[in-house]
Structure 1
């Protein structure tokens, strides 16, 4: 069963929250982070991507980057952040257009992460783990939340709904139009949420595998080095990690689309012949209307592809559209065997949509684009429950949580 740990968050003063909050560190380049932080000395990107303040070309893993992050964090704490008086749980609501999702921000057990009570579906890269582990230890803090999901529970929903009738701690619209609203939950409702979570059998990492893995490594390294850490008396120390847990029926997964740079030496006619041998091909929309359909933009037109060999529905991974595309077209026709390392493929996720695929192909920057029906949360849970790994670049979660709003001191 899952454990929800209330904690004494380090957080912005309410009137500064909108200026401090920043996009997740791993969704922007250094150049994009620099542009976003320009003119805003309080932007949390100056902590999470501190290389933006250093010379162009600075290695983002250089000692100077972590030293600058530590210095900027200390200055921000002094001027703009406060520590919560009592251990609390926080309701974190995201609104993007007509979509709303409401989750619980708290700390979660790394022991349960180790035991797969908190389940994973993605492999992590050692270099990315190294970076965030070092960042956490340098700051003595986890500064951005992991995105968790769980099978919705009526009891949790009822308590959460009651909490949102109270006074808002933060409420602002970010520059991308997403509304971020946070309520602090203490007292009886906090305790009721802790009790309710003991009846949730499993949590699932939706987004933030590297943050969670880095938190586990930071815990181990702090123990090995005898680092005392920060004790706020809330029971949420380096043995826990910061996350926001959303009920599964509120989570939104957007398509994670693909473009290929060339046809692997094939002519346009030979490419289409090879595709038709493996798929039924007909004119169709830019966005597939159901699972099993794949949309391809090629030579100025959209085509719907349906595999001639029906995938085995009992195969949680092989039946995914992203797996069908990979096995029967990208690998079989274009000889792109590993999308994680092959430079001939690129990915277009989230709100950029099919228009970006068309733009890239029309501009000659890509030879073809592929639009996929989004993976469902049920697909993700099935793969995680099987102890398996989702295909690379198969889920894009939107809207994104913000860094710097709720910070876990370790």
Structure 2
């Protein structure tokens, strides 16, 4: 059974919600970041970039402590308030090409330990430890783990009923997004939602594997250091956004490689010919239309790569995955990239970005070749997780990406 728990969110006052909420930190370029920090005193970016007021660059534990200080200032100034009762929060976002509606709540670290919350990507131990220390120092979590479940009409019905009420928040952004949030504090509705999730055997991480793993590490450490541990403490849970599968939008990550590992262009194409049927598309930015087809940009021209039937030797779901095929047939044996997590010769850009971004980076000489593929499907994600396997890094870029600062979970 899946456990979903209400919590007392720390959140912006209604009138300031649109001003506080910020996009994921990494989405801002330097100019955008400066503009937000200079002209919006309520932006959550002031908390995430606390040294800006000192015009100084800091990192590590010193930065973590300053983040905590800025957060406490927002609370002291009543920019943030905290709900008196544990609640669920129904959150809806609409954009030109995305609609999502789900429940912000606390997920169970025990469910993660027991593989009820299932993962499909590997995590890096050093990043897990870093994130754990970050949350431990700042004392709060504002970026929900994205958890997805099979579409359930009964859950959708209760959400539709809740959304007939006036929302707690409703605001639009310059990115043409509209955000809505409803507070659910009725105990009968909370219990009903919990009962629906209790009938599920498993739920899947769509995005946030490191946040999930670090939250589990923190809960384990905190329990070991607490002689009076009961299992009900806030550290036993972590902030999550529970969303039906049909509301996810999954993109690929394109791969960019700095060099051809000593091969000439002609020799590289000959090596590819062993496993792929190659077609030169010239300046036609070919888009793969089915699995096991790949896009390649090399020396000013696009190519389509079709995996030969003689090379389709699959043993499990992972071996059928296009990102794994690319690794096993091209990146490792030909380009010499064995460690996808540490090799600095490979970079990734989200497939949501225009293909001209990949073309520009290769044309500039910064990279020698770029690859694209079909996005992974939700069924592949679930099969990988169910089989206890993990995808290569950067196999999926998944939306929605929620705004930071709207519902904060304190430890």
Q: Does the TM-score normalized on the shorter chain lie above 0.5? A: yes
Equivalent residue, structure 2, for 1:281: 278
Please list every run of 5 or more consecutive structure 1 residues that lacks an aligned counterpart in the other structure.
none
Please give the secondary structure, in 1, of the residue aligned with 2:367.
coil
For residues 242 and 11 of structure 2, the distance between their equivalents in structure 1, rounded to whole angstroms, comes to: 19
Please give the secondary structure, in 2, of the residue aligned with 1:189.
helix
The answer to whether structure 1 residue 64 and structure 2 residue 62 are counterparts is: yes
Equivalent residue, structure 2, for 1:86: 85
Quote the offset at 1:267 in angstroms.
1.0
Equivalent residue, structure 1, for 2:134: 135
Kept in 2: contact 1:132–1:211 (CA 8 A): yes
Equivalent residue, structure 1, for 2:333: 332
For residues 127 and 105 of structure 1, the distance between their equivalents in structure 2, rounded to whole angstroms, comes to: 28
Please give the secondary structure, in 2, of the residue aligned with 1:101.
strand
Please list every run of 5 or more consecutive structure 2 residues that lacks an aligned counterpart in the other structure.
none
Please give the secondary structure, in 2, of the residue aligned with 1:238.
helix
Kept in 2: contact 1:22–1:404 (CA 8 A): yes
Output aligned runs, 1:175-194, within 5 Å: 175-187=174-186, 188-194=188-194
Quote the offset at 1:299 in angstroms.
2.3
The answer to whether structure 1 residue 47 and structure 2 residue 47 are counterparts is: yes
The answer to whether structure 1 residue 147 and structure 2 residue 146 are counterparts is: yes
Runs (4 or more) in structure 1 with deviation over 6 Å come to 28-32
Decide whether aligned partners of structure 1 residues 73 and 154 sit closer, same or farther in structure 2, where only a CA change above 3 A counts: same
Please give the secondary structure, in 2, of the residue aligned with 1:351.
coil
How many correspondences in the alignment? Answer: 404
Decide whether aligned partners of structure 1 residues 311 and 271 sit closer, same or farther in structure 2, where only a CA change above 3 A counts: same
Quote the offset at 1:39 in angstroms.
2.8
Which deviates more, 214-223 or 191-200? 214-223
Equivalent residue, structure 2, for 1:169: 168
Which deviates more, 203-212 or 35-44? 35-44
Equivalent residue, structure 1, for 2:95: 96
Which deviates more, 336-345 or 25-34? 25-34
Quote the offset at 1:281 in angstroms.
1.0
Equivalent residue, structure 1, for 2:406: 405
For residues 350 and 119 of structure 1, the distance between their equivalents in structure 2, rounded to whole angstroms, comes to: 24
What does the per-residue CA deviation read over 1:366-386, in whole Å, with 9 as the maximum and x for residues that have no partner? 111111110111111111111
Decide whether aligned partners of structure 1 residues 252 and 84 sit closer, same or farther in structure 2, where only a CA change above 3 A counts: same
Decide whether aligned partners of structure 1 residues 55 and 130 sit closer, same or farther in structure 2, where only a CA change above 3 A counts: farther
What does the per-residue CA deviation read over 1:52-74, in whole Å, with 9 as the maximum and x for residues that have no partner? 5565553x21x321221111010
Quote the offset at 1:114 in angstroms.
0.7
What does the per-residue CA deviation read over 1:24-47, in whole Å, with 9 as the maximum and x for residues that have no partner? 346668897556534333222333
What does the per-residue CA deviation read over 1:136-162, in whole Å, with 9 as the maximum and x for residues that have no partner? 222322222111111111111111122
Kept in 2: contact 1:34–1:53 (CA 8 A): no
Equivalent residue, structure 2, for 1:75: 73
Please give the secondary structure, in 2, of the residue aligned with 1:92.
strand
Equivalent residue, structure 1, for 2:395: 394
Please give the secondary structure, in 1, of the residue aligned with 2:312.
coil
Please give the secondary structure, in 1, of the residue aligned with 2:40.
coil
Decide whether aligned partners of structure 1 residues 253 and 311 sit closer, same or farther in structure 2, where only a CA change above 3 A counts: same
For residues 233 and 158 of structure 2, the distance between their equivalents in structure 1, rounded to whole angstroms, comes to: 22
